A and B are shown apart, each in its own frame.
Chain A
Amino acid sequence: MHEQPLLSVQHLNKQFGSGCSKCTQLENRGLTKNYCPNCGTIYACQDISLELYSGEILGVVGESGSGKSSLMKCLYFDSDVTSGEAYIDDKELKGKNLFALSAQRKRYIRNHKYGMVYQNPVHGLKMNFSSIGNIAEKLIAAGNRNVGEMEAIGKSLLEKVHIPIYRMKEEPQHFSGGMQQRVQIAKALSNNPPVLFLDEVTTGLDLSVQADVLDLIKNIQRELGISMLVVSHDLAVIRMLADRTIVMLNGKIIEQGLTDQILEDPAHAYTQQLVYSLL
């Protein structure tokens, strides 16, 4: 039996620069890492295809500069793709390439179908608006116009991410990094999006907060059945969260499969090195 993927990405390419005669063909580009030494074009994502199924957590690992964040930005429409297609399993949007939609429709998908937690809370939160306001922003964007309702949802979410309610009117700029990250998660979850993107959520947090945040993510997945795409360079995070994992190197997918399989029996030389360097 074949299940329909919730989000399917096909042949996604993202490059910075126009390319030259030496690097435009797909095979044997002659790149140094992801960079063409002749014209300076950077191939951040090359021919990425992936599928995200309902309720699963898909991990993406790779070293710095391997194209993980570029991929996330493209999927969340923060930056435009060079080429490629994405489809979402949704009544209204079925069979439509998401990357080819109008900016207004993309905005609609961001507001109604997606949630995003950035590595740096500065990108996901309005630091000078209250925490409850930040959560309301997402709800307002999704069409809610009832203050009482939004306040109630915001309160229950803040409780869920262990932010004391008496601090809900405080601005996230006064919060610690870990608290900011948790407010960001609450915001991303506020309108129950079917797809959640998590970009290096635990990087830079101390270990106890890291554990809290990971716990929270795992619980959310179990309770709400939200599909997540988790980007991290930390294999421990991937091991704990992800059901399936994709390994990226220099803008390409070099290996993918069940997380256990990849961690126990890595096939690609780079993945082997990555796994063996895990402390």
Chain B
Amino acid sequence: MKTKPHFAFLDEGSKKEIRRTILKAVAIPGYQVPFASREMPIARGWGTGGLQITLSLIGKEDVLKVIDQGADESVNAVSIKKLVQSTTGVEITEQTADASLIQSRHRIPEVPLTYKQILVLQVPMPEPLRVYEAKEYKTKMLHAEQEYSGAWLMLFEQIMKYGKTSTDADHPVYVNDRYVMAPSPIPRFDNPKMNQSEALILLGAGREKKIYAIPPFTDVTSLAFEDYPFAKEDFTNKHCYLCGADDVFLDELIDEHSGETIYQCNDTSYCMERLNSNQKEEVGSVDA
């Protein structure tokens, strides 16, 4: 017997529970709300948190974009897109501006998000204090008492060891001056994009069974000491070898033929868009 799959895979009861969790998360910016993470057709730790948020929010009119570390075509992004499309039939896009729902792993797109969009981030480790304190009941108390010396201490230790903070991703942030939050392993480059973001940002950790959120237009500040200010990754004098962009997050590559170090946009759809628009201009100039 073949059963008809439910719209957006999850049953309505599950969606309702996840939506309620999301509402609570939006009401308390940065607070990790526990939820009953469902068994999904992909393994926990592979984006099940983000996927469950996406599936519980998606409607027939939505346009979905899925990114995996900046790329639209990597295996994880493609599998998630396929699953969502085969159970909902929604339109899939690679253009950030066209999407109403964006699920992303470890990047915030280069194109600024608008108030009409929702960004869903996949989170492996939602607890910013976990390295400092292993016990969940204790970290819960630390959050309740607003005791964040642990998060600061980790940065202090890095400065002692390396002369600077060495978080390459997942640099902790204060949300709405209350909760310290793990922004998921996005590069420091993307941290400022969370501040006063027009789009709603939802973060889902399937394995750790937590959902948390940054509502639109919320203050988000990265933790930094007075004498060691927060700094984004530095790409001065570097640009994408394909599209020439120099104000984006770049991947470092080695040109196998020349052995030289080259840089490329991490956000593939942004790079493609720029290449296409450059192409059009060239054609336009020929016509004229």
Contacts and interface: CB of A to CB of B under 8 A. Distances in A.
Interface of A: 103-104, 107, 111, 126, 129-130, 132-133, 136-138, 140-141, 145-148, 150-151, 169
A169 B153 contact: no
B149 A137 contact: yes
Contact of B152 (A103, A107, A132, A140): A140
B225 interface: yes
Contacts, number: 52
Given A140-B153, A141-B147, A141-B149, A169 B160 contact: yes
B130 to A, nearest CB: 13
Given A103-B144, A104-B145, A140-B152, A147 B157 contact: no
Contacts of B161: 130, 169
A233 B161 CA distance: 40
Contacts of B149: 111, 137-138, 140-141
The interface residues of chain B, by DSSP majority, are classed as: helix
Contacts of A132: 160
A169 B226 CA distance: 21
Contact of A133 (B157, B225, B226): B157
13 contacts: A104-B145, A104-B146, A107-B145, A129-B153, A130-B160, A132-B160, A133-B153, A136-B153, A137-B149, A147-B156, A147-B225, A147-B227, A169-B161
A141 B225 CA distance: 13
A137 B150 CA distance: 7
Interface in B130-146: 132, 141, 144-146
A146 B159 CA distance: 12
Nearest to A107: B145
A176 to B, nearest CB: 22
A147 B226 CA distance: 8
B228 interface: yes
- Most chain A CB within 10 A, of B145, B159, B160, B227, is at B160
B160 A146 contact: no
